[in-house]
Amino acid sequence: MTPAQWAMLVLLSLLWGGSFFFAGVAVREVPPVTVALARAGGAALILNLVLPLIGQRLPFTRAAWLAFAVMGMINNVVPFTLIFWAQGHIASGLASILNATTPLSAILVAHVATQDEKMVGSRLVGVLIGFAGVATMIGLDVLDGVGTHVAAQVALVLAGFSYACAGVYGRRFSRMGITPMATATGQVTMSALFLCGVSACVDAPWTLPSPSPATWLALGGLASLSTALAYVIYFRLLAAAGATNLLLVTFLIPVSAIGLGVWILGEQLAARHLVGLAVIGAGLACIDGRLLRLRNRKPFQSGGR
């Protein structure tokens, strides 16, 4: 990955790290499926307004919209609903650790489904190191909750697996000649259409009391920042860096969440946060492979041949 791609990955982690805060506020007053609908629907509205302004348009082929439908289901509808539901049942620390299993799923899915992202030793070792860093940063005491609320824990693991499948499936859009912006718009539009029907049947949102201003702001942040803007970056990275590298963002999300807490809320940075950050950095370096290549490079020898 290039420095620019790493910078985009960090920005994506900030946007998605903020989604945990926004969702935590929203689910207090709004049911999970309707929160998912607000997130996808708001993002679809924003992206469909922006797309023609930048001189792009959605494709009108059957193949493209079928791909948008599949991507919307596995990248939005399924994981959004599972995550928002699970957040109401287990601690956020344990949820973050379970969310960090996504790259493990991505490596397995990419190994089976692709020809150019096969599992190699350094990549697997790096993912395991990164997972250990996330656990260190959040604190292993949250593991006391393992064994309770099993359904919520399984839901988060399944959400991570769904994201991993979406990362591999989404590679096809660049081959189809669809721009990252159009891809983000099409898949989130199909997600909103799916969720309209589900929310109407499950929550009947027109019968719910009007949310507070704080909840409206949280839903707006979910739609505009954590979804619309985030997915434009997501599909650019997917086309340039591959599914496995892209899903490393799940390791950086806890880093972003803790950093935002220190900066905005004045929370204290514990020693384990610094240790976890260092371990995550080691895992990312291992996956990137740059340090390994430098180590294996033969030293320069002066003089003639």
What is this structure's pTM? 0.77
> How high does pLDDT run on average in the chain?
81
d(CA 159, CA 167): 12
**pLDDT tens for each residue of 190-244:** 999 999 999 999 889 889 899 999 899 999 999 999 988 988 888 888 878 776 6
Token digits for 299? 């030293």
Question: Is pLDDT of 302 > 50?
Answer: no
The Cα 83–Cα 280 span in angstroms is: 23
- Burial pattern 153-181, b for ≥16 Cβ within 10 A else e, equals bebbbbbbbbbbbbbbbbbebbeeebbbb
Helix (H) or strand (E) holding 38: helix 32-53
